[in-house]
Amino acid sequence: MSADSPRSQSCTCIAPINIAVIKYWGKSDEDQIIPLNDSISLTLNTDYMYTKTTATISTELTKDSIILNNEEASGDGVRFQNCLSEIRKLAASSKHASTVEKSKLKVAIVSQNNFPTKAGLASSASGYACLVFTLAQLFELESHKSELSALARRGSGSACRSLFGGFVQWFHESQPCVARPIAEAQHWPQLRCLVAVVSNTSKAVGSTEGMSRSVKTSKLLEYRIKHVVRDRVEEMKMAILQKDFVKFAELTMQDSNQFHAICLDTYPPLFYMNSTSQAIIQLVHRYNEIRQNIKVAYTFDAGPNAVLFMEEAELNRFASVFHSFFGSIPHESFFRGKVLDPVDSTKDVEALGPDNALKGQVQYTIVCHVGQGPKNIDPTG
């Protein structure tokens, strides 16, 4: 923590996004943000994609405020205040007098995502995880991460998973309702991820509204909760612990497909993917066919942007194929986050059947791996 003056203190932290491979869609309690089912996610490294938040408390502040992506938001927003009020309660009950005094001060938040917001890339998850973690650091709370996970959930459900690195499960029936790690980030070092940015545009129907609509109208969601997801969660946990990529990939794609089927089964229907998303799905299945095994998996959250999983040994080969189909800028500019070695993909592309109409449909792709949870980036933090 840095002290700007005796009357003002600030703290800056970053938090990762997490990508669900077993999806959360629908709440049993809208106010408390309790999900209908357990979910499982992977936390991505913060080398390229993260939320950065600075929190400042000062005797000179007269109200709580928040600036998100350079735009002023409401400091009275319900979810923001839910998180802030719970943090203040913890601070007020601290055995440390300095923490108790801090709980009485107004706070100014400045938060920035360095990736597309409200486009199906878990920006609210990293955002609220970063908010809660930064405030806990600023107030010098001695809270366990599971306690912070419960607080972050009050801002955005999936934020509870971004408090942890590695592979994470959110338990819908736990008391309190929190996320816990399944395995550390280093557990599966060969696993890699490509985040394909198809669109920076915010989705037309937000996740909160979409979930509510699905809960009210989708019989398929009802079937998923009763008959599918519980077993699928256990299968996914086993695949992760055994580092069984084929099983992991199958479950990931099946769960993504079922999620978007539920969106279509919702009335009126929800359209989060677009034609480019569908072309990416087709390419992955065709690629796995010519490789005669499942080498790549896709998942889509509530947006058109794809998240693609593979192991390190497949990364350069598939990336070159993917660029051949969807990239219109040089290979070294198309892939961000890590330098990839181009591979001659001529034979693969010929086997797949080239489609020049797809060129330029993906703006760029971020290369990621499984990473750690939030961290304080103040020099003295």
Domain ranges in the chain with CATH number 3.30.70.890: 191-369
Return all residues near 111 (Cβ < 8 A) that are at least 6 apart. 51, 52, 53, 54, 66, 67, 68, 69, 127, 130, 131
Closest of 249, 277, 283, 251 to residue 263, by C-alpha: 277
Q: What count of residues does the chain have?
A: 381
State the Cα angle at 248 between 242 and 249, rounded to 5°.
145
Number of other residues whose CB lies within 10 A of the CB of residue 274: 14
Is residue 306 within 8 A of residue 298, CB to CB? The reply is: yes
Class of domain 191-369: alpha beta
Strands 167-170 and 65-68: unpaired
Distance CA 35, CA 241 (A): 24
pLDDT of residue 117: 59
Listed in sequence order, the residues at least 6 apart from 114 whose beta carbon sits closer than 8 Å to its beta carbon are 48, 49, 50, 51, 52
State if pTM tops 0.85. yes
Residue 201: predicted pLDDT: 84
One pLDDT digit (tens) per residue for the chain, 381 residues: 444 444 799 999 999 999 999 999 999 999 999 999 999 999 999 999 999 999 999 999 999 999 998 888 877 788 899 999 999 999 999 999 999 999 999 999 999 998 765 555 658 899 999 999 999 999 999 888 889 999 999 999 999 999 999 999 999 999 999 999 999 999 999 999 999 999 988 889 999 999 999 999 999 999 999 999 999 999 999 999 999 999 999 999 999 999 999 999 999 999 999 999 999 999 999 999 999 999 999 999 999 999 999 999 999 999 999 999 999 999 999 999 999 999 999 999 999 998 888 999 999 999 999 999 999 998 655
Q: Which CATH number fits domain 8-184: 3.40.50.720, 3.30.230.10, 3.40.50.300, 3.30.70.940?
A: 3.30.230.10
Domain with CATH 3.30.230.10 in the chain: 8-184
